[in-house]
Structure 1
Amino acid sequence: MILMAGILGILAFDDVWNVSRFLYYGLIGLQHRGYSKSGIAILNKQRNIFTKLENVAPEDLEIKDLNGWAGIGYAGIRNSYPITIDNGAIVVDGMIDDNNVLNHVIREPENAIDDIKKPISFIAISKDGQLIAYRDELGLKPLSIGGFGFDLAVISSEPTSMFVIGAEFKREINPGELVIVDKYHIESKQVRIPRKSYCTIEYVYQARIDSMINEREIYDLRVKIGEELALEYPINADSVIGVPETALPFAIGYSKKLNIPLDLGFTRTGSPIRTMLSSDAFLKIVGVQLKLNPIKSAVKGKRIILIDDSMVTGTTLKNTIFNLRKLGAKEIHVLIGSPKLVSQCPYGVEVPDEKELISANLNDETIARVLGADSIHWLSIEGLFKAIGHRDLCLGCMTKKYPW
């Protein structure tokens, strides 16, 4: 089962609270991690758990009948979370072959973690009023903790869900750390020895640009990636354009480093759509046009540096280049702010099968021709290390070498 998800847990320290709206807006702050399915499980004053699962984006989730002082939420590509487990409910970011291994998370969390054989993060809510959260020992699946002073505790995949509801981000949960929160205290225990191997895709694509992942500010990191691209591929051009929103900081870094004007090449149409996550073939083809419309005066007659965060099948990028050519772009040189994707991810990041990955099957010259670009270049792995500032990375989808 392939999963990409945002997970969230909120617990009030007094049962007079109703946290359903906090969960709702917090999930909207995570829907960039997976927008097609959502769900909430909430604990009421009578210690009953009510669950709502929908095949809709979090912003379309109906919550008017949910009322409780603690709960968990899910935004992703599956409609089976939250799932009911022994005396509670749970949400998971990662791959689980058998949901039965989760059944003892509430009663015996440490023993249950021993039975988990793949890297996952989870947040559970018990009928006794506990939030139980765990982050895998590699740190592949991010998890953070924060809150509203002495009123609410919040645990989330990214701090972005805390920002949108006005909560304060405290810290990231460490790889291999188990955290248990109730009305009276927060307990933390290192249950597995950390073997840090952070997911590269989180840095270059998945995390929101206003987020923090593994003690790195994502916006600053992506600006540095753009600077590394400028050092590796200094191309003579009239304008630098980043594909919104992920690649905009790449373009800013590249533009500053080489003193080439930065242009806003696109304007948004409708709600954000992450075409990399889509299983709809039509959406993959026209999705970029649905979410972004090119600006003619920004590209006509110009030599363009077009920067994107990643390239999977090449379908959306080909469509983007076609539209820029149609509006009169003179040259289009493509830079990708990550190394080539050449292999599927076994840990739950939505990377297609190798046969669908364009950079795993064609050389650079052929790819440029297929896309309609004048040239194409990828950030080197060494450039990635320099931008991030460490080498504790999982690069499996880029090197076929996996840490687990």
Structure 2
Amino acid sequence: MPGGDGLLNHDLLPNEKGPQDACGVFGVWAPGEEVAKLSYFGLYALQHRGQESAGIATSDGSKILIYKDMGLVSQVFNEASLSTLLGHIAVGHTRYSTTGSSSWQNAQPTLGRTSSGTVALGHNGNLTNTAELLELVRERYPKVDGELARGNTTDTAVITALLTGDLDHTLEATALEVLPRLRGAYCLVFMDETTLYAARDPQGVRPLVLGRLERGWVVASETAALDIVGASFVREVEPGELITIDENGLRTQRFAKADPKGCVFEYVYLARPDTTIAGRGVHEARVEMGRKLAAEYPVEADLVIPTPESGTPAAIGYAQASGIPFGQGLVKNSYVGRTFIAPSQTIRQRGIRLKLNPLKNVIKGKRLIVVDDSIVRGNTQRALVSMLREAGAAEVHVRISSPPITWPCFYGIDFASRAELIATGLEVDEVRQSIGADSLGYLSEDGMIEATEQPRERLCTACFTGVYPIALPESQHLGKNLLERPAASNGCDPGPDSDLEAVLAPAARQEEALARLGQVPFGDPGRPE
């Protein structure tokens, strides 16, 4: 009998998910260390960036070994599997499908041949010129082999194929020729039998950091992964930089001029709160977003509660600035995953309670301010407001610590399509009616950016503004399933409400669709979900 794979159960509500963050990457070069175990714990710290599959490749200087499978890091690896991964170099990856479906063939790290050996590669981000690069692969290497021949349909497989190179060039030289051709967001950690490499796109859309071990070096998607393996933070990998680490030490080269456009949504939702990006602590940024939200949208209430866990820092900030007490009004079950047991209709109708349950004695009779990081389709918030009213809340005021999301992301976050985003085409008060709240307030774009302490021109805010800092190709060359036509969808990483959207009853989606068509009143707050 199959066991649960730890994936959030989107099957409870087919085709329904919120923004997802793409992937987490980890690399280590450390002779004398158990690099497979370091990678395991590094990936464990990055689990929030992808829960579909995980893998680790290691090298002892002469051969590369790899182990990967579907599921959470803790489910893919055990002592026995880690003990087989010998060596002093490792590359690890935890995946949410950005380009290509969620399947074993698409798990990373990918493997490919080079002119002098093998390359193993992990990728966080999403390329925008995959179709163009695939044509280049076919032109240079007419006999397709490797990952692409084995059914891998990701942009990562295309990069891996391009790194094949020739006898006249080392992997490092080939990378310096290939990297400038890539468009979009990418943080790459890759290795051959003797060397570890790390590269970041010229815009630096996704985070990538460098750390120091007593006997080696570490690169990772977030500083939190450095902390868990005992590495000290050195610096961020610069946009447009290729880092090479081998027995001769660390060296760095530029393959493109830096034009920083870091993703602002990393501060809002994606990154761990204990991570630091561009010198700004993510937790501190989120608390400040809550403070600014309280200043922009005050309301008389008795209690400020978060939608756990991502809404907690902003709720703390809101409570601090408003003077209204902070409380825990919702209990989150962090262990709901795929069970291979079909839910009964009764459970479907109470779907959100699989993930969140109200503390009735805390919220009964109270005027509540519910703080969340974002609204995508609105289904989660609609079900949440209904549940709180059912539990006895006198008023429910929703506050969102980011502006309305009105545009999809093509740089590594799997938002809904533009047509599915509730804020597209609806005014704020119409969204309020749709979710059934007494009031609704979104943080302004200025307030969000000020909280990050980053210059506006160094941030990507495309999902809020529609201004894409990296040029996009024609629509037929975009989409998560680009290499699996005719299926197509926008796509990248796990995002807000992805775990909650998955357990909502189908009726919630149906009600939303009818509401959009004007066939039912917006936001019937008394209707149980």
TM-score (norm 1): 0.91
Residue 397 of structure 1 pairs with residue 463 of structure 2? yes
* Counterparts of 1:53 and 1:183, CA distance in 2: 27
The Cα shift of 1:288 comes to: 5.0
User: 1:3-402 counterparts in 2 under 5 A?
Assistant: 4-12=22-30, 14=31, 16-44=32-60, 47-62=62-77, 63-64=81-82, 65-78=84-97, 79-85=106-112, 86=114, 87-96=118-127, 97=130, 98=134, 99-102=157-160, 103-104=162-163, 106-108=171-173, 109-127=175-193, 129-149=194-214, 151-271=215-335, 289-389=353-453, 390-391=455-456, 392-402=458-468
Letter matched to residue 47 of structure 2: Q
Which sits farther off after the overlay, 3-12 or 330-339?
3-12
Letter matched to residue 80 of structure 1: A
For residue 279 of structure 1, what is the aligned residue in structure 2? none
* Counterparts of 1:3 and 1:331, CA distance in 2: 33
Contact 2:49 2:94 in 1 (8 A): yes
* Counterparts of 1:23 and 1:319, CA distance in 2: 39
Contact 2:59 2:88 in 1 (8 A): yes
The Cα shift of 1:3 comes to: 7.1
Letter matched to residue 237 of structure 1: A
Structure 1 residues 61 and 152: CA distance shift in structure 2, 3 A: farther
For residue 276 of structure 1, what is the aligned residue in structure 2? none
* Counterparts of 1:3 and 1:33, CA distance in 2: 5
Letter matched to residue 259 of structure 2: R
Contact 1:208 1:246 in 2 (8 A): no
Contact 1:289 1:320 in 2 (8 A): no
Contact 1:237 1:303 in 2 (8 A): yes
Contact 1:287 1:316 in 2 (8 A): no
TM-score (norm 2): 0.70
* Counterparts of 2:232 and 2:349, CA distance in 1: 39
Contact 2:21 2:270 in 1 (8 A): no
The Cα shift of 1:50 comes to: 1.6
- 3-state DSSP class of the match of 1:21? helix
The Cα shift of 1:385 comes to: 2.0
Deviations 1:357-388 (A, max 9, x none): 11113222222222121111111111112212
Which sits farther off after the overlay, 290-299 or 257-266?
290-299
The Cα shift of 1:156 comes to: 0.3
Show structure 1 runs of 5+ residues with no match: 274-281
Q: How many residues align?
A: 390
The Cα shift of 1:147 comes to: 2.6
Q: Could you say what the CA RMSD is over the residues aligned between the two structures, in angstroms?
A: 2.2
- 3-state DSSP class of the match of 1:24? helix
The Cα shift of 1:291 comes to: 3.4
* Counterparts of 2:399 and 2:201, CA distance in 1: 33
Letter matched to residue 207 of structure 2: P
* Counterparts of 1:147 and 1:290, CA distance in 2: 41
Structure 1 residues 254 and 77: CA distance shift in structure 2, 3 A: same
Deviations 1:302-358 (A, max 9, x none): 000100011111122222222211211111111111111111111121111011111
Structure 1 residues 378 and 90: CA distance shift in structure 2, 3 A: same
Contact 2:70 2:107 in 1 (8 A): no
- 3-state DSSP class of the match of 1:195? coil
Letter matched to residue 203 of structure 2: L
Structure 1 residues 286 and 27: CA distance shift in structure 2, 3 A: farther
Percent identity over the alignment is 32
- 3-state DSSP class of the match of 2:184? coil
Between 1 and 2, higher relative CO (CA 8 Å, sep ≥ 6) is seen in 2
The Cα shift of 1:287 comes to: 7.1
* Counterparts of 1:76 and 1:359, CA distance in 2: 28
* Counterparts of 1:330 and 1:315, CA distance in 2: 21
* Counterparts of 2:351 and 2:247, CA distance in 1: 45
Greater strand share, structure number: 1
Larger Rg: 2
Contact 2:29 2:217 in 1 (8 A): yes
- 3-state DSSP class of the match of 2:34? coil
Structure 1 residues 384 and 270: CA distance shift in structure 2, 3 A: closer
Letter matched to residue 10 of structure 1: V
Contact 1:133 1:180 in 2 (8 A): yes
The Cα shift of 1:131 comes to: 1.0
Structure 1 residues 192 and 285: CA distance shift in structure 2, 3 A: farther
Letter matched to residue 158 of structure 2: N
Which sits farther off after the overlay, 36-45 or 23-32?
36-45
